[in-house]
Structure 1
Amino acid sequence: MMRFGVAKDLITPDLPTYMGGYGSFFNKPFQGIHDDLYVRTLLVQDGETKLIFVSLDLLFHDFALTEELQKWSETAFQIPADHFFLTYSHTHGGPAMVGYDDASQHSPSYERFLLERIKSCVSRAMVNTFEGTLQAGGVNGDWNINRRLSVDGELQNLPNPEGAKDDRLHVLRVLDLDGRTKVVLFNYACHPVTVRDTLYLSGDYPGRICHLLEAEYFGAMGIFFQGAGGNSRPKATAYKGMFITCTYDEMNEMAISIVQAIKLLLTNPKAMVQVQPDVAACQFKVHLEIDPYPKSHFAAIASDPASRPGLVGMANRVLNHYDHMPDYVNLPAGLIRLSADLYIAYMGGEPCYEVKRKLERLFPGVTLLFWGYADATAYIPDDQIIVEGGYEAEGSVVEYGLKGQFRPGIDKRMAEAFTAAFRAL
């Protein structure tokens, strides 16, 4: 019999902070709170093996936060660092964070507040435990759209109805021994940018889905893990060949539609399969090489009066550290086995759907959930996207403070790393 622990806690800033995401480009603080932000924790225990899953209603953070929490969890609860997994919903309605936004926008007070709230949430999950069972299922949904459109041979950030996207919504449900739903975990790949650069704090559509699930299943916790959504946006934001800013009511409509699909799935006894647990996990780094841009590239952006304030700060940061920056990054990654035929791939950055699709092909006969956004490394393209170019391959380099774009070879390095992890488990 498996054991589980659940907890959530408020992480809405209690002091003024700069906005993250789109709002950070304009160097402005939030104007108000539309809906609160949360940290949610799920403990999964199979015999002596314990896994901690943490989801945050934030854009993302550098991996140093996860490493600090892994060390703390190992000391406090004797849970190996490899068994502690933290990801971000990637809502653009959160505060500026270390690792992505410019240093002038970070709030040290909020960073301290966030760390303590996460620790408290994990600690409460460790004491709020119960025996239960785990079910897995999924449904296809048409809530996202590819955002890479070729116009006159150039990749632009525009709706592409024919482009590749991940339609699969994965759901894990935890039931207690009385058959009551205690956790609804959902995993979908789509940027939470329905209200884009609106300067109000919000968990966007993932946060709203959690609210609705918790209202539907009294005493349960909804928890979201973002997928390989680097090159997809909500379909609701696509209008007449452009991406628009939606209203909160339109965000709510998207959330209601997804919740209805989840409810239908959970009420279908043939759709949700009981997981026969065989739990194990490991984490590792994937070495990705960078093709450096010349200093003049960053200098031109830093001196361009049309550049956004946040982008100027990032370009100057690269210039100031250029000679000492490495020509590679080590991308955090991991693999989780829940049963013999149910795995979770875990990865930092903003992975594009093609990355997940190629990993799925490595493991035929296995259902593979994919959790991206474990840190703020960069967009993670596959080799084909690197060749094609576009924002995910080259346009976002300065935004992420990288020295240049990734070199081809990502497909091979991903395959080698995840295959080795699969064999080890």
Structure 2
Amino acid sequence: MGENLTKAIEIDLGLPDEGVDLAGFYPPRMWDGSGCGLKASLLVSDLTDGQKLVFGSIDALFIDGQFHDALANRLGKKYHLNIIASHTHNAPALAKSLPKLGKLSAAWFDKVVARIAAGIIDERAVKLAQIGGGSIATDLVINRRLDAWQLDYRRLKKGRLRLVRTVALAPNPNGEVDNEIKAIFFKCAMGKVRAIVWSLSAHPAFAPEHASISPDFPGVVGGLLKKAYGDDLISIFLPGFAGSSIPKCPALKLGRQSFMQALISLAPFNKSIPVFDPNSYWLWSRNAANFIKDIVSVSVWEELHDLQLHHERGQPFTVFRDQSLGDIALSITAISFGSHAAIITMNGELLSEWSALLDVSSHRDGLCIVSGYGVGDCLYVPSESEIARGGYEVERFQEFFGLSGRFIENIDTKIRKNLKLVIKKLC
């Protein structure tokens, strides 16, 4: 525990100096040289005995233990890191453990580590004085796990016609989602909103410029919030339970699709995620920003220095057993600002179906943001009900993540138990 002295930092990561893969799809795409610079958006809080907590997000697909260690070694022992990947699918890789999703550039990796470390150590960061927050239900997200009959195109290539019942990567209007935008706001001593930590459970994987570097919709929303609150605003995006949900956005009309896109759209028994209309995607992002501004307008503010900052890190526990790598672990970390707000993070891509299962509100009062994509082992984390259904997030992802194994029995009980232990320490 410690007195809450918190600063906000936005670090411009720039662009690579060489050709790089963009991580997020298989096979990876080569960067075409276009795009806008990526950022690290962070809060740095003083803890007891001169220790400091660094919390925030980086524009990247994943952050693994090797990145964490490289940054921690650069900063020194007094810094505790709790950093989340925004999960944009249009950034160079920072996770060395996922080469199939995008080959890592050592030059980019080193550049990002150096720039973030320098930005954290810089004492010119803005001190924060007040905290507010809230949540609001939206209609911005949709589940992407659809039970459907699919044509087995691999067998079709061999002259065999077969339909299979499977879970397709396609919009499922009846699937579970976490449809709330949750946000924590910070004002400086002048009463100006200077930092916003916000979460929406949706995959940032649909930037219109497929081979361009982009922070995807979190960057668009952050830019719109800067227009509302000033260029010095720092926007920190957490993807929440985004493992099985995507933006609910209109599809590009068939006449505007490329030949290959149209062919996929028209193929029989081939349910898939449609190509988004770029203009509609921008409007969707604007709606997300407007929801956040609505929360700001009704937020109740408290003095930040009156709230005790608490940071807890649970013991890693096994959720997946790999045939070659052994046990793959989940780690839960929590930050609370008194009873006003809490942020709970885990590594891995937690499916949307966890939102109701974990039910954090039953263990803690006040605003609580829960998000995956933290530092650690990289994998999807499905619930027992979704493991039974199968599909990409249960089986097919393993090939691209370098895994081959199975999830543990009673994963629901184990995650709920460990989450409860961490939350209890915050009280």
TM score, norm. by length of structure 1: 0.83
Cα distance in 2 for residues equivalent to 1:180 and 1:57:
25
Cα distance in 2 for residues equivalent to 1:373 and 1:154:
26
Give the secondary structure class of the aligned counterpart of 2:61.
Answer: coil
- Equivalent residues in 2 for 1:274-293 (5 A)? 274=302, 277-290=307-320
Residue identity opposite 1:217 in structure 2: Y
**Conservation of the 8 A alpha-carbon contact between 2:24 and 2:101:** no
**RMSD of equivalent CA atoms:** 2.5
Residue identity opposite 1:99 in structure 2: S
Alignment partner for residue 172 of structure 2, among 160, 169, 178? 160
- Equivalent residues in 2 for 1:26-45 (5 A)? 26-45=27-46
**Conservation of the 8 A alpha-carbon contact between 1:343 and 1:367:** yes
Cα distance in 2 for residues equivalent to 1:363 and 1:86:
24
Give the secondary structure class of the aligned counterpart of 2:91.
Answer: coil
Classify 1:32/1:100 alpha carbon distance in 2 versus 1 (closer, same or farther; 3 Å): same
**Deviation sequence 1:106-130 (CA, Å, 0-9, x none):** 2111111111111122123x44242
Residue identity opposite 1:257 in structure 2: N
Number of the residue aligned with 2:54: 52
Cα distance in 1 for residues equivalent to 2:204 and 2:39:
15
- Equivalent residues in 2 for 1:88-167 (5 A)? 88-97=85-94, 98-102=96-100, 105-124=103-122, 126-152=123-149, 153-167=165-179
1:158 CA drift (Å): 0.9
* 2:345 maps to 1:346: yes
**Conservation of the 8 A alpha-carbon contact between 1:40 and 1:121:** no
Residue identity opposite 1:18 in structure 2: D
1:331 CA drift (Å): 1.9
Cα distance in 2 for residues equivalent to 1:188 and 1:250:
18
Classify 1:6/1:367 alpha carbon distance in 2 versus 1 (closer, same or farther; 3 Å): closer
| Greater mean deviation of Cα atoms: 179-188 or 40-49 | 40-49
**Deviation sequence 1:23-50 (CA, Å, 0-9, x none):** xx23441113232211111123478774
Number of the residue aligned with 2:262: none
**Conservation of the 8 A alpha-carbon contact between 2:126 and 2:188:** no
Number of the residue aligned with 1:250: 280
- Equivalent residues in 2 for 1:20-419 (5 A)? 20-22=23-25, 25-45=26-46, 50-75=52-77, 78-79=78-79, 81=80, 84-97=81-94, 98-102=96-100, 105-124=103-122, 126-152=123-149, 153-195=165-207, 198-218=210-230, 219-236=232-249, 242-268=272-298, 271-274=299-302, 277-290=307-320, 324-326=324-326, 328-340=327-339, 342-361=341-360, 362-375=362-375, 377-419=378-420
Cα distance in 2 for residues equivalent to 1:190 and 1:28:
22
Classify 1:7/1:366 alpha carbon distance in 2 versus 1 (closer, same or farther; 3 Å): closer
Number of the residue aligned with 1:306: none
Give the secondary structure class of the aligned counterpart of 2:284.
Answer: helix
Classify 1:237/1:198 alpha carbon distance in 2 versus 1 (closer, same or farther; 3 Å): farther
Number of the residue aligned with 1:301: none
**Conservation of the 8 A alpha-carbon contact between 2:350 and 2:382:** yes
Classify 1:36/1:423 alpha carbon distance in 2 versus 1 (closer, same or farther; 3 Å): same
**Deviation sequence 1:201-253 (CA, Å, 0-9, x none):** 11100011111111221132222111110000111165797422335433321
**Conservation of the 8 A alpha-carbon contact between 1:46 and 1:278:** no
**Conservation of the 8 A alpha-carbon contact between 1:194 and 1:236:** no
Classify 1:419/1:71 alpha carbon distance in 2 versus 1 (closer, same or farther; 3 Å): farther
Give the secondary structure class of the aligned counterpart of 1:13.
Answer: coil
TM score, norm. by length of structure 2: 0.82
Classify 1:366/1:359 alpha carbon distance in 2 versus 1 (closer, same or farther; 3 Å): farther
Cα distance in 1 for residues equivalent to 2:147 and 2:317:
30
Classify 1:196/1:325 alpha carbon distance in 2 versus 1 (closer, same or farther; 3 Å): farther
**Conservation of the 8 A alpha-carbon contact between 1:8 and 1:39:** yes
Residue identity opposite 1:212 in structure 2: L
Alignment partner for residue 19 of structure 2, among 10, 16, 19? 16
**Conservation of the 8 A alpha-carbon contact between 1:335 and 1:418:** no
**Conservation of the 8 A alpha-carbon contact between 1:288 and 1:331:** yes
Structure with more helix by fraction: 1
1:74 CA drift (Å): 4.4
Classify 1:249/1:35 alpha carbon distance in 2 versus 1 (closer, same or farther; 3 Å): farther
1:423 CA drift (Å): 2.8
Give the secondary structure class of the aligned counterpart of 2:21.
Answer: coil
1:59 CA drift (Å): 0.8
Cα distance in 1 for residues equivalent to 2:39 and 2:321:
38
Cα distance in 1 for residues equivalent to 2:186 and 2:102:
42
Residue identity opposite 1:180 in structure 2: K
Residue identity opposite 1:6 in structure 2: A
**Conservation of the 8 A alpha-carbon contact between 1:228 and 1:370:** yes
**Conservation of the 8 A alpha-carbon contact between 2:59 and 2:86:** yes
Cα distance in 1 for residues equivalent to 2:206 and 2:380:
20
Classify 1:68/1:112 alpha carbon distance in 2 versus 1 (closer, same or farther; 3 Å): closer
Classify 1:272/1:412 alpha carbon distance in 2 versus 1 (closer, same or farther; 3 Å): same
Give the secondary structure class of the aligned counterpart of 1:398.
Answer: helix
* Percent identity of paired positions between Structure 1 and Structure 2: 21
Classify 1:9/1:154 alpha carbon distance in 2 versus 1 (closer, same or farther; 3 Å): same
